[in-house]
Copies of this chain bind each other. A is one copy, B any other.
Amino acid sequence: MTKRKAPDIVVGRLPLYLRMLNQLIEEDRSTTNSQELGDRLGISAAQIRKDLSYFGGFGKYGAGYDVIYLRDQLRRILHLEKIWRVVLVGAGDLGHALANYHGFSKNGFEIVAVFDSDEQKVGTMVGGLLVQDVSRLEEVISENHVKIAIIAVPVSAAQAVADRLAAAGVSGILNYAPITLKVPPGVKVQYIDPVARLQHMAFYVGGELNKSSDPGE
C-alpha cells in the first residue's frame, strides 16, 4: 500500500506529539491514547488519529498507543535517530541565548559552530563554542557535513547569509531575522518571528477588548 503524502501542516504537528510523548515518558507513563493526547495538546482526538494515519498504524483500536513505541516511531519518521549538526550564524544577544539553550542537544540538534562578522565577537566564547569569523562558514559546513543552519543576524545581513548557506549545501534554515528569505528549490526555511506571533494574538485580544467596551453588549 502506497502511503499518502502527509500535508506540511500535519508534519508540523508531529514535533508536538513527540514533545508530549517525551513528557509522558518523564511521568513514567507507558500507554496513552488519542483522546488523552488531544486533551493535553488542545487538538481533537480525531485529528491526531488522522495525522498519525499518514505514517502507518501505531495503536490498536481500544488499546491506545505504547508511549515509547510511538515516540520511537515519530523520531524515525522525523529523521531524529541521529544527531543533526547545526551551525549558528550570529553571536548577538539572540545567538547567545540559542547557543546556551540545552533544548537543542537534548532533542536531536547539536550546534557545532557559531559565526559572526563582528571582530569584537570573533574569538570570544559563546555556549562553550569559540565564535568564528563568518568567512570560515563554507569551510566549516563542508568539513562537518552540516545540512541545517540557524540565522540569528540582523535583517540587513540575513539574505546574504542565506545565499551562502544554500550555496554551501545547507538544505534547512531556521531563520530568526524578520524577513522572508529567497532560497533555491529544495532548501526549506522555517521562521521564528515573535512580533508576528504577538500581532496574531493582538487580533483576538484587541477584538475582545473592543467587544467588552461596547455599551451594546
From B15, B108, B186, B192, contact of A192 by CB (8 A) = B192
Whether a CB of chain B sits under 8 angstroms from the CB of A19 is yes
Within 8 A of B (CB), among A201-217: 201-210
Q: Is the CB of A190 within 8 A of B195?
A: no
- Helix, strand, loop or mixed for chain A's interface? helix
| A167 at interface by CB-CB < 8 Å | no
What residues on B are CB-neighbors of A121 within 8 Å?
A: none
Quick check: B180 and A40 within 8 Å, CB to CB? yes
| A103 and B195 contact, Cβ closer than 8 Å, known pairs A84-B202, A202-B108, A203-B77 | yes
CB distance from A180 to the nearest CB of B (A): 5
State the interface size on chain A (CB cutoff 8 A).
63
Instruction: Evaluate contact between A15 and B199: CB separation under 8 angstroms.
Output: yes
Other A-B pairs, 11, CB within 8 Å; known A15-B193, A98-B194, A104-B198: A11-B200, A11-B204, A19-B193, A40-B180, A86-B198, A92-B97, A108-B202, A109-B195, A109-B198, A172-B204, A186-B208
